Amino acid sequence: MIDAALLHIAGHLNAVLRRSHQSAEDLVAVTALHEADGAPAAGAAHRLCAFLVNLERDAVPGMPAHTLASGDRMARSAPPVQLNLLVMFAANYGGSTYPEALKLVASTIACFQATPVLDPQNSPGLDPRIDKLTLNIEPLTLHDLSTLWGVLGGRYVPSVLYRVRLLTIDARKPDAQLPPVRTPAVGVHG
């Protein structure tokens, strides 16, 4: 489901950028900037690369375990996991095309400022397992930015980091069988 969320966000952004930049080709690619061996990733050059930087569990209070009824037995399952995705949009342009990188980052910010929530009403094709995706810019200090790009193993390119809330992963697999609750017998015993 993480892939479905990231691909949907990138697809939405790509459609907006293609219109605003009057481009016949895709401008956004879901790809890392570098391969595991440090080589440039295929398909990352001259693209706005969208990639996952981190996953965080969202501590939503009061998320109880699910109780599912099946015949005369009840089953308990673990509560769903609520995740936030940290997604980087990095414009991988250099040399004389560097100004294009700046335009794409600015256009990305404008896109998600205009539509910070993607849901089935405004974003057809959203995976039915996803209720909505809310995008907020994640502010980074210069130190945080330096550390992040160090971890990513690359040199800085114009980019913006977004926190995407709230992805729910719910396996709905029972972890225990519970006896059913029965109506208590009320009466006077004497």
CATH architecture type of domain 2-171: 2-Layer Sandwich (3.30)
| Range of lowest pLDDT (47-56, 79-88, 168-177) | 168-177
What are the CA-CA distances from residue 36 to residues 33, 39, 54, 80, 152 (Å)? Answer: 10, 7, 17, 32, 10
Residues 31 and 40: beta-carbon distance below 8 Å: no
Each residue of 49-66: pLDDT tens digit? 999 999 998 876 555 555
DSSP-derived pairing of the beta strands 174-178 and 159-169: unpaired
Summary mean pLDDT of the chain: 85
Alpha carbon distance 31, 42 (integer Å): 9
* Confidence tier at 180 by pLDDT (50, 70, 90): low
Predicted TM-score (pTM) of the model is: 0.80
Q: Which residue has the tokens 């109506």?
A: 183
Each residue of 89-116: pLDDT tens digit? 999 998 999 999 999 999 999 999 999 9
Q: Taking the CB of residue 123, how many other CB atoms lie within 10 A of it?
A: 18
Is the pLDDT score of 183 beyond 60? Answer: no
